[in-house]
A and B are shown apart, each in its own frame.
Chain A
């Protein structure tokens, strides 16, 4: 496809990053194997997978920081291999365990990169002050980065993306090694970015965090995307039905009643007054109605959110069994 076609496609459907058959090989070893994905403007997209599955390599290819062996990727309509400066002007990148010049202060570090971005003095000063206050580093802006904790460094890295006013923020393992409070703060900042319409690409192996902030996720395994979509969809795909609703209520023949609710595939009686329903959608309103219709007294109605952790575990478990099976067959 020619460059102009690329741009037309991207503009038409609001796709900001499109990868087609993206492949990276070191010699004969494939690290990323013909992956395809589209990332839409304004979404938070999670790249998941064990270490060494090809997440960081994919990110580096999108930024033009490593050569693409085969296939292509378009970022905001630009080809990172040919127009890396255009891409890097619009995309902010927070590398895995980001580093700064320890002998410089927070402001000096940011002004260096802001100068590299080509921002004039006044603009630089304004944006840096604003960004540092956004990531709550205003009171340490003249301290040397050597004194910063890991969480502060990550926030400083995010400030750099804010200074750039990037359309896309690519964050590689941004919360690994952070304490729970720092993680929470960082996730809030990511939420703020999304609220401003920035497209966020988040790579992580911390599943619960990804689940909390991502609209869609792609699960990487050995250089391939094995699953992609919203977490709820993946749950349906991997765990079977997506929703598990627990009902605590008194009443006669409730189990039968609940089983007739549309969408429910299975009802399990846990105790005399407790039932677990498996359904393909959120059936709580219908379940409540069914209990009330049976003159039962409803005490508790809860839904187990499908957890990415469960999906992940189940998926890789399935893979293992599959592998073992094929080995036996062989």
Chain B
């Protein structure tokens, strides 16, 4: 049975309204400042340690993202931790608040499909995150110019742009998850708590659990242990399991894109490195190839979670 009319009718209107709501909301204000202040602290640490040893590093700007200054983790690590919080903050009450405010049936009685409402909300959330992350990106480059005094090269800008794009998709995964939960749970508090629970589990607990599980699945071989090496099977399992967390995928992609010396993300055999000039940077295209599977996984995660929410939303009853 084919529906008449376009599912995207009214999409722009919904997206613009939600975007303006997002940008003017107090919640967004708090989240933005949280991220900006933590990021500034991380950058300050990075700049401090970079000034100590400004040698002939060809990728000085990229170091800003990845160098950790004493007490604080690096800028990228902080973003990996805080981007989910921001995305959850934007998405956890996207749909259930419309139910609770009793605006849903009134809006859906206008000549639009549910598709437009859901996609509009998602795009508005993603645009909000993109705006915030772009501002942050510009801030890093600006601070780099001021404090390091070295103009960034073309490749550095390209690599940091790749960072920006991957970070937006990483935010998309968490936004999709938060919106899915906002559809499933009628109470925003349950949706927020569940989302935060998943966030803490995947960013804090999972990196510890994954190696433990890997040892259960593929017990380490004592012969390797005697040589002081990791058992290849165990290491591969540990990495595969760790990659189930978007946080890990983001970290790996960042490593490939922002540290041009990265040649592989998984365990490699020595014979695979034969002929490689260790420590020399890879060209941008090669780095992107390394980060590509992780990026695709993030995009796929975004889409799968969004589609799950879409299906639940289409089947949901409008009335409270």
Whether A60 touches B319, Cβ cut-off 8 Å, given contacts A99-B101, A112-B17, A116-B112, is yes
| Contacting pair A84 B101 (CB below 8 A) | no
Question: A316 at interface (Cβ–Cβ under 8 A)?
Answer: no
Contacts of A99 in B (CB 8 A): 101-103, 106
* Binary per-residue interface labels of chain A (83-105) against chain B in the complex, 1 for a CB within 8 Å, 0 otherwise: 11110110111110111111100
* B107 CB, nearest partner CB in chain A, Å: 7
**A65–B105 Cα gap in the complex (Å)?**
8
Contacts of A56 in B (CB 8 A): 319
**A116–B111 Cα gap in the complex (Å)?**
7
| Contacting pair A116 B4 (CB below 8 A) | no
**A302–B138 Cα gap in the complex (Å)?**
84
**A17–B3 Cα gap in the complex (Å)?**
20
| Contacting pair B111 A93 (CB below 8 A) | no
Question: A246 at interface (Cβ–Cβ under 8 A)?
Answer: no
Question: B109 at interface (Cβ–Cβ under 8 A)?
Answer: yes
| Contacting pair A89 B111 (CB below 8 A) | yes
Q: How many residues of A contact B (CB 8 A)?
A: 34
Contacts of B101 in A (CB 8 A): 99-102
| Contacting pair B109 A93 (CB below 8 A) | yes
**A84–B314 Cα gap in the complex (Å)?**
14
Question: A63 at interface (Cβ–Cβ under 8 A)?
Answer: yes
Question: A130 at interface (Cβ–Cβ under 8 A)?
Answer: no
| Contacting pair B4 A83 (CB below 8 A) | yes
Whether A97 touches B9, Cβ cut-off 8 Å, given contacts A112-B17, A117-B110, is no
| Contacting pair A85 B106 (CB below 8 A) | no
A-B contact pairs, 8 of them (CB 8 A): A60-B105, A66-B317, A82-B1, A85-B112, A97-B102, A115-B10, A116-B110, A116-B112
Q: Which residues of A contact B (CB under 8 A)?
A: 56-57, 60, 63, 65-66, 81-86, 88-89, 91-95, 97-103, 112-113, 115-118, 157, 160
The 4 closest A-B pairs by CB, nearest first: A99-B102, A93-B109, A116-B110, A85-B5
Q: Which residues of B contact A (CB under 8 A)?
A: 1-5, 9-10, 13-14, 17, 21, 101-103, 105-113, 317-319
